[in-house]
Amino acid sequence: MFSLSGYLKKIVLVVLSIQVGLSLMGRTSFCEPSQSPQEESDWSTVNSNYFNIYYRPDANLYGIERELTARALNFDQAARYGDITVLDEICLRLDKLFSHVKDLLNMYPNIPKVIIKIFKDRAELNDEYSKIFSKKDDLKAYYVKDYNTIYTSEADIADSIVIHEMAHVIIDHYFDVAPPEKVSEILASYVDAHIEE
Domain ranges, ordered by start, for the chain: 4-194
E strands, 93-144, are 114-119, 141-144
* Alpha-carbon separation of residue 67 from 13, 14, 64, 88 (angstroms): 27, 24, 5, 15
pLDDT for 103 beyond 90: yes
pLDDT digits (tens, 9 = 90+) for 58-102: 999 999 999 998 887 766 665 566 678 999 999 999 999 999 999
* Alpha-carbon separation of residue 141 from 77, 80, 107, 108, 121 (angstroms): 27, 30, 22, 23, 11
pLDDT for 35 beyond 50: no
pLDDT for 28 beyond 70: no
Q: Residue 192's pLDDT band (boundaries 50, 70, 90)? A: confident
Other C-beta atoms closer than 10 Å to the C-beta of 195 total: 20
Q: What is the mean pLDDT of residues 29-36?
A: 42
- 145 secondary structure, DSSP code: G
Q: Residue 30's pLDDT band (boundaries 50, 70, 90)? A: very low
pLDDT for 32 equals: 46
pLDDT digits (tens, 9 = 90+) for 149-183: 999 999 999 999 999 999 999 999 999 998 999 99
pLDDT for 187 beyond 60: yes
Nearest-10 Cα torsion for 59, 136, 14, 189:
-50
Select the more confidently predicted residue: 48 or 83.
48
pLDDT for 27 equals: 43
pLDDT for 196 beyond 50: yes
pLDDT for 66 equals: 94
Q: What is the mean pLDDT of residues 114-121?
A: 97
What does pTM read for this prediction?
0.78
Average pLDDT, the chain: 83
Task: Give the three-class secondary structure for 49.
Answer: coil
